[in-house]
Amino acid sequence: MGRLPEIALANDDGTVVCERCLLAETPLARMRGLLGRSSFPAGEGLLLRPAASVHTAFMRFPIDVVFLDSTDRVLKVVGSLPPWRMAACRGSRAVLELPAGEASSRGLAAGMSLTQVWRTAGARRPRVLPSL
User: What residue ranges do the domains of the chain occupy?
Assistant: 6-117
pLDDT of residue 94: 97
pLDDT of residue 44: 94
- Stretch 69-78: mean pLDDT: 97
102 three-class SS: helix
Higher pLDDT, 39 or 50: 50
Share of the chain above pLDDT 70, in %: 88
How is domain 6-117 classified at the CATH fold level?
Jelly Rolls (2.60.120)
74 three-class SS: strand
Nearest to 48 by CA among 27, 24, 15: 24
pTM, full prediction: 0.86
- Stretch 35-59: mean pLDDT: 92
pLDDT of residue 75: 98
